[in-house]
Structure 1
Amino acid sequence: MKWTTDLYLKGLGVLELVENAQQVVEDWLHRKRGQHGGLAGKTAIVTGGNAGVGYATAEALLARGCSVVLAVRDRGRGDAAAARLAATAAGSGGSQQLGGRQRKGGSSGGQQAGGAAAQGSTAGGGPQQAEAAPEQPEAAQVAVEILDLAILSSVRAFAERWKASGRSLDLLVCNAGIMVPPERTITADGFELQFQSNYLGHFLLANLLVRQHQRQHAQHAQQPAQRASGAAGGSQGSGSGSSGPLRVLFLSSMTHIGGDLSDLTDVPYCRRPPWNTFAAYCNSKLCTLLAAKHMDRLLARAAPSGDGKRDAAVAVHPGLVNTALAAGYFKQMPPKLLRPLTDPFFTHVFCPYMLRSPEAAAETVLYAATAPADEVGGRYCGTAPRVTRHSAAADDPQVAQRLWDLSAHLCQLDADDLVS
């Protein structure tokens, strides 16, 4: 019944808020940043990297010497974010920007991951063709590319541009998303907006980029003489070729506990009445967690025996974070007539003191990005940060396989582009 579903989901929200408040206290008591080594010289893609957790993650990566591509939906907001990131990085040691834009604080960009909770599609992004940066080749770089996760053709175009750039990839952070739009919205591809923006678009992106990485790595391994000389047959340029293992992070949520995939054929469309926007959000996050665990099983199976330095996929729960996404969600809860009174409370009291800061959330993301694969691969990393428990439904390999096969069908993925 509708009222029982609403009651259960509201109770779940209260439980998450209580857990989050405890974590906020821990964040304040342990304000020192983690070390998170091993990121210098690497390359990361962060979807929705222009705002919120994505922006804080990009900032933390740049500070540790990792070049970042902001995968975003809106060019203007992306350029503004990249300019701020470059200026911050320049003040702490310098970064450059790619794509013919200014370096050392110039304008390049990233986009917001979906904007306010009540607004439409997510942000995503892709890589720009990277230009060599002769002034400071050792510095971390920030670049911007357009990607809309709510349009599967945009995801494919992003992957094609990344392939054409010849750059290697070390870290993919599937961060962008939206939360509880007020109305059921169907994308141009025919799927419920939250399902595609939060899950299906990232599923397609991750598979395409992981398969590119695997082919690049295999080709690199077959050319030892060329690697040794660095010259035979020509070089692809700075940042090209195979690097180390690839880490894929799928941002999930504690709300995955409220997910219900018993009617999996309906989940991508949410046609079954009564439609519940929060239930659809929970489903998208459960799908994300299942995909992370299943992808990691496949990657671990393909890894050399006993090699802990392998490609890995990890699910990450950064907590309830003080971003436009979360603030928009809470602000829309009171009746419209009361919002002129309640909005200041949420802006100045509730969100700053009950929700985690984006910087604290980024520490959880970086833990999942840098911890050994055998420690976090296929796991659910919670806010502490540490590996934590998840729902029993997220640990069902048969459901994960069914979801994986269905998602590949929905994306019309060829076998050669599907991690298997």
Structure 2
Amino acid sequence: MWLVVVTAIVAVVLGLRFAYRYRIRYCTSMRKLHGKTAIVTGASAGLGKETALDLARRGARVIMACRSLVKAQPVAAEIRTKTGNRNVEVRHLDLSSLASVRKFAQDILDSETAIHILVNNAGIFGSPKRKLTDDGLEITMETNHLGHFLLTNLLLGTLKASAPSRVINVSSDLHASCKTFDPDDLNYEKQPYPGPFKSYQTSKLANVLFTMELSEKLCGTGVTANCLHPGAVSTEIVSKNPTYWWLTPIMDYLMWTFALDVKRGAQTQIYLAVSDEVDGVTGKFFDNSQVIEPSKLAQDPNLARRLWNASERLVNLASEEKHY
């Protein structure tokens, strides 16, 4: 009896694993990117690394924007070896520091004449307790949203001059778990800090709202902005996070059972970066390389404008840093 039950459970688990993984639509675009420049944040591991590898294989100049140079340099060397593309480099970027974002952006503007693809991929899981950065900003929101908001704005002038160009923001379908959102309380000063899962979900909702407002501001410029859910992907965001060491064995098992590997998980952001099918498509939310409807909250234009205005205030976006 028990043997039958165990066999049935194993069969169901393996069936779900197979079904989830093999539903993925691979990016079939053959587009080459010789002469194009791409920036990928968080490119030292996971989805960012796989995206950087694919873009380098297509011939792009790839700038890996990473917090740890020690970790990223060997990855860049690996990508150069695998692709034969010597035009892959690493530059330091800590999205939880506005000063670091501004320094990175200025270095890019000083050295690069064009930017054709910006993949805002980096992200962290929520902090167990409310934690403020040196900027006085909640660390999850600054890393996942505000840092990318500032970076994108600082690079917008060059992105527009390089058009057609693309901005890709990696979000999550977990944004739909948010039933309320207050753009004027991104630091959780009015309401209690909701914990790691909710703070992460809220930052992912901010990614979607930012994308929608960005696409409106860039209408007619030749720069498109889209966001995506990569799927449940086996990355280091939780399982290798030292704060959640006790979750590692559980997450490793769940990731093995149900999650996508990074190659499959990166397909949608690669698709948005290179595919002819999305030429001119902007302001959309994608899952498995297909447009889907984000949550109702994420489609609220008034909320998107309020978030944009609040984000400008929090990052102290100066008039000379505005290119929309």
TM tier relative to shorter chain: 0.7 to 0.9
In the TM superposition, residue 83 of structure 1 has moved relative to its aligned partner by: 1.2
Which letter maps to 2:123? G
Question: 253, 270, 284: which one pairs with 1:366?
Answer: 270
Aligned residues of 1:320 and 1:355 also touching (Cα < 8 A): yes
Which letter maps to 2:141? F
Aligned residues of 1:185 and 1:193 also touching (Cα < 8 A): yes
Structure 1 residues 419 and 290, CA gap change in structure 2 (3 angstroms): farther
Residue 82 in 1 paired to residue 1 in 2? no
The equivalent residue for 1:320 is 232
Query: Identity of counterpart residues, as a percentage?
Result: 33
Residue 299 in 1 paired to residue 203 in 2? no
Kindly report which structure 2 residues correspond to 1:98-177, keeping only aligned pairs within 5 A, or say none.
141-177=87-123
Which letter maps to 2:85? S
Q: State the alpha-carbon separation in 1 of the partners of residues 293 and 234 from structure 2.
A: 23
Aligned residues of 1:298 and 1:419 also touching (Cα < 8 A): no
Task: Show structure 1 runs of 5+ residues with no match.
Answer: 1-20, 97-140, 218-242, 304-309
Q: State the alpha-carbon separation in 1 of the partners of residues 24 and 201 from structure 2.
A: 30
Q: Is the partner of 2:218 in helix, strand or coil?
A: helix
> How high is the TM-score relative to the length of structure 2?
0.87
Q: State the alpha-carbon separation in 2 of the partners of residues 24 and 42 from structure 1.
A: 36
Deviates further, 263-272 or 168-177: 263-272
Residue 95 in 1 paired to residue 85 in 2? yes
Q: State the alpha-carbon separation in 2 of the partners of residues 374 and 31 from structure 1.
A: 18
Q: State the alpha-carbon separation in 1 of the partners of residues 192 and 24 from structure 2.
A: 45
Task: Show structure 2 runs of 5+ residues with no match.
Answer: 1-14
The equivalent residue for 1:245 is 164
Deviations 1:282-328 (A, max 9, x none): 1111111001111111111x43xxxxxx2111111111111111434
Kindly report which structure 2 residues correspond to 1:20-419, keeping only aligned pairs within 5 A, or say none.
25=19, 27-28=21-22, 34-89=28-83, 94-96=84-86, 141-214=87-160, 217=161, 243-269=162-188, 272-273=191-192, 275-300=194-219, 302-303=220-221, 310-328=222-240, 332=244, 336=246, 343=249, 346-347=251-252, 349-371=253-275, 372-373=277-278, 376-382=281-287, 384-419=288-323
> How high is the TM-score relative to the length of structure 1?
0.68
The equivalent residue for 1:116 is none
Aligned residues of 2:27 and 2:270 also touching (Cα < 8 A): no
Q: Is the partner of 2:63 in helix, strand or coil?
A: strand
Deviations 1:117-156 (A, max 9, x none): xxxxxxxxxxxxxxxxxxxxxxxx1101001000001101
| Structure with higher helix content | 2
Which letter maps to 1:184? R
Q: State the alpha-carbon separation in 2 of the partners of residues 204 and 32 from structure 1.
A: 31
